[in-house]
Amino acid sequence: MVKLATPEQAQTKKATRAAFGVTLAELADAGVPVVAVDADLTGSTTTKKLADAGYADRLFNCGIAEQNMIDVAAGLSLTGNVAFTGSFAVFGTGRAYDQIRNTVCYSHLNVKIAPTHAGISVGPDGGSHQMLEDVSLMRGLPGMRVLVPADYAAARAALKLAAATPGPVYVRMGRASVPCVYDDDVELELGRAYVLREGSDVTIVACGVEIREALAAAEALVAEGVSAEVIDAFSVKPLDEGTVLASVAKTGCVVVAEEHSVIGGLGSAVAELLARKHPAPCEFVGVRDRFGKSGEFEELLAYFELDAAAIVEAVKTVRAR
């Protein structure tokens, strides 16, 4: 079991995007040939911190040209670099999807798609900028690995893991500051899910910012006499089938929570697994076939029924089934 944040650490809030630039600089200091290619958002994505750390020659700003950004990163990867791209998720995956598919994935290039500002955490920027389909898009690409870290420490670990993993990797990061879940020095593995809380009555599988909501829901369920097991499936692809199956075999039912559309993301991955190997009642907490909406992050969590209260209700429903 991975080491979780202490109560003191859990009071600290940081955005997962804040890990991007500092981690790239740490990797460069360690001798990893990382480069960052950005689409005129180096401040927002924090890739500018790579240049600020003395590696200005490793940061390439392509301007507002996300498709070109992917192709530049592909070219840099062919010269021995570990190329990370940065943009908002809606642009870095949606606008550049063809280049990611046909240039990066088709040739299995060592490019890491690592956009920030994914999901509803974009907040007031509204539905045009709140990317809720990115995991679905990236998960469907042959050879693409998909990582959705829960907090700042997990984002640092995911970025380091991406750098050490040959070939295409997608790392999803957000804008909003969120509480710490993990210890500062946590290390994560590709294809591993982590049981953060053991339980016997229901399995809650989550990723990203929904991990904190899942843990809060599990705590609230104690008063209902329900023992919930909470699993962080930060590695959405490849999914840790063994951990999920073992938990559902024990509890008999599962709720999947993600800050993403209920179509094509983690919920779909878990449902596909259970349909093949262990059919069981499932409920899904996510955005239901609609675009986002302008508002503050915490307001939107409640509005879209992505908060702990929504997970508790989903648990009651799935247990009744």
Contact by Cβ (8 Å): 108, 169: no
Angle formed at CA 196 by CA 112 and CA 260, multiple of 5 degrees: 50
Render 249-282 in DSSP notation, one character per residue.
HHHS-EEEEEEEESSSSHHHHHHHHHHHH----E
Residue 66 annotated to the active site: yes
Instruction: Mention every residue, 6+ apart, whose C-beta is less than 8 A from residue 160.
Output: 23, 26, 27
Candidates 8, 26, 66, 305; catalytic one: 66
Distance CA 134, CA 265 (A): 8
**H/E stretch holding 147:** strand 145-147
Asked if residue 117 lies in contact with residue 89, where contact means CB atoms within 8 angstroms, the answer is: yes
Beta carbons within 8 Å of 63's beta carbon, 6+ residues apart: 39, 40
Give me the residues paired with residue 178 across strands.
14
Helix, coil or strand: residue 313: helix
Q: Are strands 59-61 and 34-38 parallel, antiparallel or unpaired?
A: parallel
DSSP state of 58: G
Looking at this protein, which amino acid is placed at residue 113? I
Give the strands of the sheet with 82-86, arranged side by side: 59-61, 34-38, 82-86, 111-113, 169-171, 145-147, 235-237
Q: Which tokens go with 125?
A: 């920027």
How far is Cα 264 from Cα 139, in angstroms, rounded to an integer?
8
In the beta sheet, which residues pair with residue 170?
113, 146
Catalytic residues: 66
